[in-house]
Structure formats: structure tokens, C-alpha cells
Structure 1
Amino acid sequence: MVHSALVPNLSLRERVGALRHLPALFRLVWQASPSLTAASLGLRLGRAAIPILMLYVGKLIIDEVVAQTQMASAGPSLGDWLASGRLNLLGGLVVVEAMLAIATDLLGRASSLVDSLLAERYSNFASVRLMEQAATLDLEQFESSDQQDRLDRARRQVTGRTTLLTQLFGQVQDILTILSLAVGLAAYAPWLLGLIVLALLPAFLGEVHFNAQGYRLNYFRTPERRQLDYIRYLGSSVETAKEIKLFGLGPFLVDRFSRFAGRMYGDNRQLAIRRAAWGGLFAALATLAYYLAYALVVWQTVRGDFSIGDLTFLTGSFLRLRSLLEGLLLGFSQIAGQALYLDDLFSFFEIQPTITSRPKALPFPRPLRSGITFENVGFRYPDSEQWAVRHLNLTIRAGEVVALVGENGAGKTTIVKLIARLYDPTEGRILLDGRDLRDYDLADLRSEIGVIFQDFVRFHFTAAENIGAGRIEASEDRGRIRSAAERSLADPVIARLPQGYDQPLGKRFNEGADLSGGEWQKIAIARAYMREADVLILDEPTAALDARAEYEVFQRFRDLSRGKTAILISHRFSTVRMADRILVLENGRVAEAGAHEDLVASGGRYAELFELQASGYR
């Protein structure tokens, strides 16, 4: 249960204030397709005028029929009536009404077609905007759970608000129709308009209230909804199936999902019952108002104030106007409710990254001359009081192969993230060829850094596309892709695939071929070679390889990185010993530095860790 104390109430002003996003939504829709947007509005403008015309033509038909029945008969046959010309006006009116009915159907079908196409174009366009915005954000803005909730809400609004477009344009159409009907009613009985508004106002306010309640419920259920999605993924994913079965986790996941889903269902059920009860009451009031107006119009017709045609016109207009106003008010409240969700989307678009290129940023120095220097660098992750690195001083010379060694949490991966400017230091500074890293153009800097992390992405694309992702602008260069695969020893893996480099990888889609962990890692390392960057970094990417395969990969890495600045991170000392220099990290600082033999001989921390690992092979 979501307690009201935890969820701030939204005032009517705040709810209506959410409509401020509608102009931005319209701009987004217009940018998605100006032609379809204009066509949708034009079609609805045509449809808006038809109801009043049909009602008025119907009134004229009835009045003409009544008038003809009060006159002497033109003859016993239809031919006599046609010959007399007394059916000319009536026949013309019937033809006009038929044409209006056909136009209504055609315009409705055309409008539905255009709206469906526009909704798809908008969804695609907004999805692109969402991905473009996400690509600009800092890593910090992805790793925060609050920001993940925010991104999840924004992602849902891209596809979940397409019906809002139809509602908005429908509202415009209904407003135009209401204005035309109101003018007609005002000419006969203006008091009917006031009666309608008084009857429908409670229903409108009720809908506004319950839409806001629904938004509050959805907003504060976002973390639990993400947990539901995660549990659903765990319980029905090929990636997790082995361990779920081996550990017998199926009942546990089902029970956990049921408990989360049950709480959410209970809240939704309570809100739905309250909404239905109040909605029924307000609907009954509106119906009573209609029949009160109907009785008064009938009385005035009996008294002779209105003709029979006037009666049908007024009752038809009143019924249609009541229905349109009810739909308009409820639709407005729904739009106001949905506009609350639009805040999730447009506020996400307003997030600004903090790690950006400075004005007149420098290009990456090619070639790198002096290298990378950390000067008294301190960094702690957002929402953490513990320093990942502190008072860190180190230098990685240009053209040098450096290995980073240390226990988990010593700061190895943090150093890599700082070099790639996925984060900026909290204290101190990092120099690249003597200039602050922040002075360089961010995109150019990252284009010259090839990094493969331990938790690299397994793209469910073809083998060639997996490797080509390392330098996307060269992703069509098969020669470069093959060369990168040969360097990483991925070429023999790909050669065994039925479709070679065109083979889709992973089991997510049809015809996909799954790879072992070690094979995936060779593909990922090829991605780093594809980059042909001046700085190469391998951050524990070979954990799934056996010792021999890892040695071969790092031996090739050593050979192929000659002339480049390279950083490798591994827990296997047999691998890191091939580096020019080894930096031993402890508590976020460099505890020792030197070649393998020198560090072993010194009997320090490195020698201790090396001896512990070596004893395991004896």
C-alpha cells in the first residue's frame, strides 16, 4: 500500500499546470511529421462541422414532412407526388443528409488512418530523441537508482503516450463541434447550456482528482515496477535459465513476483473501485439533467413554442452537446492526467550532462608525447562517502605498457573511468601531455581510447557489427573488421559460425548463435582493436578464458600495442608480468611500482600477492 503521507498531493493548479507540456508535445509531433500533423488537423476540422449540419438538415426534413402531411394529398402514387414537385425539397434534403453521412464515414476513416501513422512516426521520433538525450548523459546519471527510475518513466512515456495525440486532436475537433452546437442551442434556449455545465462539472472535477491519484500511484511505484520487470526477466530469460533450474529458484521468483504484483494490484483495485463509484454517481446526475431538459423542451413544443422539427433539433443537439461536453471535460481531465506523465518525458529531455567539452576544446594530441599523469587525484562515486581513490599520484608514459594490480575495490577500474572521462575527479587533476584532461574535446578524447571492460556488452547483432561497434564510422570496412578479429584471436571463432561475419550472435533473435564466455570476450577485444586508438585499455576482459588463452591474448596485446600507450588489468600475475611497469594499488593509492622481477625481489605487497597465487598452482 502506498501511504498518502509518502506521496505529495497535487493541487488543482499543479494538475492543470502540467498542461504546460502540451505545446512542447505538439512541437515534437510536428517535427515528427509536419504533413501528417496538418492532415490530421484538417480532417478533424471538416468532421467538426458535420454534426450540426446533419441535425439541422434533419430538422428541416421533419418540418417539411409535417408540412406536407397537413396539405392535401398530391395523389395515390409516388409518380403523382414526383410530378407535383412537392417532394423536390424533401428529396434534396435527404440527399444532402446522405452525403453528409458518407462524408462522416470517409473523414473518420481517413482521420483514423492518419492518426495511426502519425502516432507511429511520433513514437519512433520520440524514441530517437530519447536515445540521443541518453547518449549525452554522464555515466553518473545512469548509475543512480533515482535516475534509472527517471529514465524508466521517460522510456515508458515515449510509447505509452501515443494515445494522447489522438485525444488532443479529438479535443480540438470536439471543441469546434461544441461551439457550433452551442450557437444553435443558444438561438432557441440558452438556459440549456447552463444546465449542461452544472450537470457535468462534478464529473470533470472527479476525473481530475482520480487522474492525479493514478499518476501519484504510478510515480511512486516506479522502483517496484522495475523490480517486477527484473524478476520477470530472471524467471523467463535464456541467460538465467541454467542457474534458475540448478538452484531451484523458480518458486522463489514466482513468490516474490506475486507479492510485489499483489501489492500493486491492491492499490490499483482500491483506486479503481473509488473511481467507478464516484463516476457512476456523477453520470446519474448528468442523465437526470438531460431528462429534465428534455421534459422542458417537450412541454414548450406541446405549448406551441417549438415545431416538431425544432423539438428533434433541440433534443438531438442537447444530447449530442451533453455527450460532447462530457467527453470534453473528462477528456480534458484525462489529458491533464496524462500531461503529468509528460513531465517525466520532458524533464528527462531537460537533464544536462556535467561532463562536456569546454569552449575551444583541444584535439587529442597525435601522437601522444609525454603520457598521462594523475596529480593528487581523489574521487568518490555519487551518493558514496567512501573515496574510491584519494591522493593518487601516478604517471603512465607515452608508448608504455602498464599493468594495474590490486585487490577488488583498490581503484583499478575507477582509474580507467577517469582516464576515459566517464567521470571527472572530485579532487586534483589528470594531465594528458601536460594539459588538463578537461581541456580536450570529449568526443575526440574518447575516440582515441579503446577500452574493453570486464562487463562488456554482448550486442545481439552480427559478428561483424559486434566488432564494427568499436569504430562505428568504419563499421562497413570488412578488411578492418577482419584485421581486428585476427588480432584478438576471434577470427577462428567466427570462421566456425554458419554465416561467418554475417552470423547474428546471441539467442535473443532468430538464427542467433550463442558463444561461450571466452569466445564473446575475444569478440569484445576485437572491438577494442577495431578502434585503432592511441590508448588501449583491457580491464579484466579475459576472466572467462583459461590461463593459456589469456596468456596468448595478452601476449598479442603486448605485441600489437607497441608504439601505443596501453593499460591492462588482470588478477593473473603470469599475465601482468609482461608489462613494462606494474602499479600496485592499495586503498586508492599506488603502494608499489616497478617491473615484475623488482617487485618480487622487494618482498612487498606485490610479492605477497604473487606468492599467494603461485602457491595455488603447486
Structure 2
Amino acid sequence: MKQSKTIFKTLKFVYCSSKRTVILIAIFTFLLGLIVPINTYIWSKFINVLFSSYESNVIPKLVFVLILIWCLWIVQMILQKANKYLKDMLTDHLNLKITESILNKQNGMTMSQFDNPKIYNKINKINTEGLSRSISVTNNLILLLQNIVSFIGTAVILVTYNPILLILLCFVFIPILAIDIKISTGLYEIYNERIEKLRLVTCLKDLMLRYENIKEIKIYNMGSFLLNRITDTYKKYLNQDKVIRKCNMKKQIWGEIGEYISKFCFTLYVIIDGITKQKDIGTIILYINTIDILMQNIGDIEFVLSEMYDDNLYMESVFDFLEEPMQHREGKKKLENINSIELKDIYFKYPNTEKYILENINLKLYKEKSYLLVGENGAGKTTLVKILCGLYEPTSGEIYINGENIKKYDLESYRKRIGVVFQDFIHFPLSVEDNIKLGNIDDYENDDSFNKMAELVGVDDIVNKLPEGYKTQLQNEWMDGTELSIGQWQKIAIARGLFSNGSVLIMDEPTASLDSLAENEIFQCIKTTLNKQISIIISHRYSMAQIVDKIIVISNNTIAEEGQFTELIRKGGKFYKYYSVQADRYKKGKYDE
């Protein structure tokens, strides 16, 4: 039942990718299937005419039949070429459809769904098998239709001779189909068992080929270790596959031996029966060819069904992923601006874990105010930012925007009001201009804002040294690509965050990869933008502590203290300890010089 549902879903999916192409393929395939029995029947007539050459006017009859056969050849050739063209076009349409469906689905999923390793296993199956299996299902459906049409047309000929033979022919292939289905099921179970380890191997291969990783791999001589890890996995599975394939091969050989024995018996029966009943030579050849074609049709149908069963096992993963619940929030209210954010009794733990990362968070943030989030590694600072960005919903507690519950607002309009510079920001393999303007797709053509932000952060100094200016392709992995330093990438990421022109600007370790001079430039840049929106900075460098309006200290997964710089220093609590340790280190460095 599940298999038939998957076949129907696949058919619908393929049909929706290009309706016109699918309909034309179905028509041409039907005609190709019809040509086979017609051609077989005409050839039998040709042989009968040939063996009656003693009759008068036999030459015109032979020529007429040959012209018919020639016409069939031409029609068959044209249909085959047209079908190949259409199948190639359908493959392209299908590739587009799968890519579009998967990426749209991915865009609509929540961050919490991506914390589940099973999602990555599904994505890996789709990436490695999705397109090829969809195409395989399509090709098999075409082959199935062609063989069914051919089978029906040819079966009509055999039924007029001996209907029992037709029934026996069909029964011969039932054991072969059962063997193939059992083999397919076993192979799919093995694939599922290996999927995570194979995904790790693929990840390691990609990691070894990334430009930014090559230097570290060479310095630490990791190449041989990683290569051995990859090849050991492949060799282990290679040895297992050798045993499995030998076993499957033996089963298939015995099944096909039974098929050939049956074919021999049926052919012998037709010859003996034809001679006994003194049938025309053309008629005997017609029935022999009919049995041969029917066995080929049934064999192809059996093969197609077993292949479709195999393909459907993999296609289930595609549809399981596409049927994952989409991100949904009831709120429809559009958000034009964010003047205040309040977090009330917020608790949070990641999916499938028991430990709370944030506990009892109560916080109010206001427009034209700046905040510095500090705390030890793993205290929950970045998690808090992710919740503020709407990437995660709190496990419990409420968030209020401008005094109203965030659930009343449309999530997309809320996110548009936020600009973020993550610590692990994306290095897009695009131009400098694209890397910055992707911060605000809706305002992509606003060159004035773009130029202002690029100049403010100091990106223009970087660009002046690049061959194509802002149009320069970044990353060495591409033709005419240019690689930037980590600090230069950091400036581009900050410019992207500023270009978003959001009501909230969040920067996670914005100067982590910058030298002292560049850090000072960014420091001055941030200083000029702090009071234009709600500004939140996460940093282990406390040089900004004296210019923000409030410092928030996260410790043991909750807010340990908050206040202005002088207030927290005077208090002598957590922040005083952090600041003193860093200040002493700088003083010691000065003294040592």
C-alpha cells in the first residue's frame, strides 16, 4: 500500500515538473509499444509470401510488405529520437523541480529541526540519490508503459493460438520478481545502516578539499590520517558488498536459468505443434517470435517493477523530507519597527536534550540603547541571540515586541527588522558587492546605503586593491577568484549587518579576527552606529564596555548581573572579575615591553 502511494506521489511530482513533456512522452511511448506486435505480424506475412514464391504476382506483394516494414522502421526511429529528446528535457525540468522543492522546504524549516541528525541523513539521501532515483522512476515508468502496450498487442496474437501458454509465461516470472524485491529490500536496509558513516566520509572529503582548510591539514600532516579514515570505511563496505553481491548474483542466475528452461520448452512445444498440425512456416515463426517478445516484455516488466520498488524505497526519503512540518506561526501582523524587546521568564533547552542552556532570563531592551553581552564560553550568550533573532522559540516564557507578544507578529517581517553579524558568518562565493547586499535583499539596488556602509567599515580600502573592485569574485576556488584574509572577511560581514538597516543590530564577536588597527576602526564605526537602533554586542574584549549603555553578564545560564560600566566595577562582581583579569593582562604586556 505504501509503495503504491509512493509511486503515485512520484508520478505526480514528475508530472508537475513539466506536464506537456510528460504527456508527449506517454503518447510516443504508447506508439513505440504498439509498433512491436504490428512489426511481428507483418514479418510473419512477409515470410508466408516469401515461401509462396511459386505464385504469380509475388514480387509486388513482397515489395509492398517491405515498404510497410520500412515505414515502421522510420516511424520507430523518429519516435525513439523524439522520446530521447523529451526524456533529456524532463531530466532538466526534474532537476529544477527537486532543487526548488528541497531548498524551499529547507527555508521553511526551523533551526530546531536542523539540530536533529536524522534531518541531515534525509538531506544526504536526497542529495546523493534524489535526482537519480526520480529520473530512474521516470525512465522505468516509460519502459513499463512501452512493455505493457507491447505485451497486450503481442498477447492478442498468442491468445488466438493457445491462451494457456500466456498464463504459464506469466507464472514463470513470479519467483524472479520475488527474488529481486527481496534483494532490493536488503540493499536498502544496508544503505540505511551506513548512511551516517557515509555522510561523515563525504564531509571529510569536502573538508580536505576546502581552500581554507588545506594549510592546517598540511601543517599538522593530517592528510594521511584523514585519507586512511575515508579509505578504511570504503574498504570495509567494499568487502561486505563483495559477499552480498555474490549471494545476490547466485540467486539471480538460478532465477534466470529457470526462465531459459521455460523459454526452451515453450519454443519446442510451438515447433512440434506446428509441424504436427502442418501450419505455415510464417505462422510457426510468428508464434515463436511472439513467445520470445512476450518473455522479453514480461522480463522487462518484472525488472522495471523490481527497479521501481528499489527506487521507491529511496523516494520515500524525498517525500518524508518534503512532508516535514513547515515553520508556522499564527501571527499575521506586520512589524514596521522595533522600539522595545522584553524577555520574560525565558527558559530554553535544545531539542532532544534535558539540560537548560538558558534559565529565568528577564531582560528589557530599548531603541537607541546599546548593550554588551559578556560571560564565559558556553554561558548561553549566542543562544540568547538566536532566540532574539527568532531562530528558536523559548522552551517556556514569553517575548514581547513593542509591548505585544511576539507570536502576534509575522516571523518574516520580524526578522527583516534585525541585522546580525554572527561569529561564524557565511563566506559567500560571490562578488564583494553581493556579499554585502545580501544583508538586505529588499533594498538590493540601494547603492547609496551600500557605499555608505562599505566606507564606514573600511571595505572600500580593501576593494581599491582588488582587480574588479566591488565586482571581484571572492574565494580562490573559482576562476579569477580572490581570497581575502579573515579580518577582511570580518569587515564585509559587519558591512552586511549594517546594510540590513534593521531596528536591531546584533554583533557576535565583531572584532575577533581583526588586528589592533582594524579593531580600532571597527570600534569607531560601531561607536557611531550604537544609538541608532537597539544594539547588542557579544564580546570577550571589553574595550566597548565604557561606550555601551548597559552591560549584561551571563553566568551559569542566567543573567548574573546587569548595569553600567562604573556601576558594575564599583559592585565588584562577575564583570569586575572579567574586566580586571583582561586589564591586568594588558598592563603586564605593557610592562614586559
Q: Structure 2 length as normaliser, TM-score?
A: 0.96
Q: Deviations over 1:11-35 (max 9, x none)?
A: xxxxx63231222222222221112
Does the 8 Å contact 2:143/2:304 carry over to 1?
no
Distance 2:532 2:444 in 1: 25
Task: Check 1:490–1:201 CA distance in 2 against 1; reply closer, same or farther (3 A cut).
Answer: same
Corresponding residue of 1:190: 163
Q: CA deviation at 1:186?
A: 0.8
* 1:349 paired to 2:322: yes
Structure 1: segments with no counterpart, 5+ residues? 1-15, 72-83
Q: Deviations over 1:483-509 (max 9, x none)?
A: 221222212112211011111111222
Does the 8 Å contact 2:52/2:58 carry over to 1?
no
Corresponding residue of 2:110: 138
Q: Deviations over 1:184-243 (max 9, x none)?
A: 111112122122222211111111111111111112211011111012123333221111
Q: CA deviation at 1:328?
A: 0.5
Distance 1:525 1:549 in 2: 12
* 1:38 paired to 2:9: no
* 1:431 paired to 2:400: yes
Q: 1:287-436 counterparts in 2 under 5 A? A: 287-353=260-326, 355-359=327-331, 361-366=332-337, 368-369=338-339, 371-436=340-405
Does the 8 Å contact 1:48/1:173 carry over to 2?
yes
Corresponding residue of 1:605: 574
SS at structure 1 position matched to 2:399: strand
Corresponding residue of 1:159: 131
Which AA in structure 2 matches 1:515? L
Distance 1:552 1:598 in 2: 27
* 1:108 paired to 2:77: no
Does the 8 Å contact 2:457/2:521 carry over to 1?
no
User: Which residue of 208, 212, 229 corresponds with 2:181?
Assistant: 208
Corresponding residue of 1:4: none
Corresponding residue of 1:223: 196
Distance 1:424 1:324 in 2: 57
SS at structure 2 position matched to 1:87: helix
SS at structure 2 position matched to 1:403: strand
Name the count of aligned residue pairs: 586
Distance 1:443 1:469 in 2: 16
Does the 8 Å contact 1:452/1:528 carry over to 2?
yes
SS at structure 2 position matched to 1:188: coil
Distance 2:6 2:129 in 1: 13
Does the 8 Å contact 1:580/1:595 carry over to 2?
yes
Q: 1:502-513 counterparts in 2 under 5 A? A: 502-513=471-482
Q: 1:83-102 counterparts in 2 under 5 A? A: 85-102=57-74
Does the 8 Å contact 2:344/2:399 carry over to 1?
yes
* 1:552 paired to 2:521: yes
Which AA in structure 1 matches 2:545? V
Q: 1:4-43 counterparts in 2 under 5 A? A: 17-43=2-28
SS at structure 1 position matched to 2:506: strand
Corresponding residue of 2:591: none
Which AA in structure 1 matches 2:23? A
Q: Percent identity?
A: 25
Corresponding residue of 1:52: 37
Distance 2:164 2:257 in 1: 20
Q: CA deviation at 1:126?
A: 1.2
Which AA in structure 2 matches 1:580? D
SS at structure 2 position matched to 1:221: helix
Q: CA deviation at 1:463?
A: 1.0
User: Which residue of 480, 486, 492 corresponds with 2:455?
Assistant: 486
- Of 154-163 and 484-493, deviating more is 154-163
Does the 8 Å contact 1:388/1:414 carry over to 2?
yes
SS at structure 1 position matched to 2:324: coil
Does the 8 Å contact 1:455/1:541 carry over to 2?
no
Distance 2:374 2:195 in 1: 40
Q: CA deviation at 1:386?
A: 1.3
Q: CA deviation at 1:572?
A: 0.1
Which AA in structure 2 matches 1:186? V
User: Which residue of 51, 75, 95 corresponds with 1:123?
Assistant: 95
Does the 8 Å contact 2:136/2:311 carry over to 1?
no
* 1:450 paired to 2:419: yes
SS at structure 1 position matched to 2:345: strand
What is the RMSD computed on CA atoms of the aligned residues?
A: 1.5
Q: CA deviation at 1:454?
A: 0.2
Distance 1:188 1:541 in 2: 85
User: Which residue of 239, 253, 269 corresponds with 1:280?
Assistant: 253
Does the 8 Å contact 1:454/1:542 carry over to 2?
no
Q: Structure 1 length as normaliser, TM-score?
A: 0.92
SS at structure 2 position matched to 1:537: strand
Q: 1:221-300 counterparts in 2 under 5 A? A: 221-300=194-273
Does the 8 Å contact 2:34/2:153 carry over to 1?
yes
Distance 2:148 2:167 in 1: 17
Distance 1:157 1:343 in 2: 11
SS at structure 2 position matched to 1:338: helix
Does the 8 Å contact 1:569/1:576 carry over to 2?
no
Distance 1:222 1:403 in 2: 43
Does the 8 Å contact 1:40/1:114 carry over to 2?
yes
Q: Deviations over 1:431-458 (max 9, x none)?
A: 1111112221100000000111100110
Does the 8 Å contact 1:568/1:576 carry over to 2?
no
User: Which residue of 152, 158, 175 corresponds with 2:148?
Assistant: 175
User: Which residue of 545, 563, 568 corresponds with 2:537?
Assistant: 568
Distance 1:143 1:482 in 2: 37
SS at structure 1 position matched to 2:412: helix
Distance 1:155 1:400 in 2: 45
Which AA in structure 2 matches 1:362? K
Q: CA deviation at 1:92?
A: 0.5
Which AA in structure 2 matches 1:136? G
- Of 41-50 and 551-560, deviating more is 551-560
Q: CA deviation at 1:113?
A: 1.3
Corresponding residue of 1:63: 48
Corresponding residue of 1:74: none
Which runs of structure 1 show a deviation greater than 6 angstroms over 4 or more consecutive aligned residues? none
Task: Check 1:305–1:476 CA distance in 2 against 1; reply closer, same or farther (3 A cut).
Answer: farther
Which AA in structure 2 matches 1:410? A
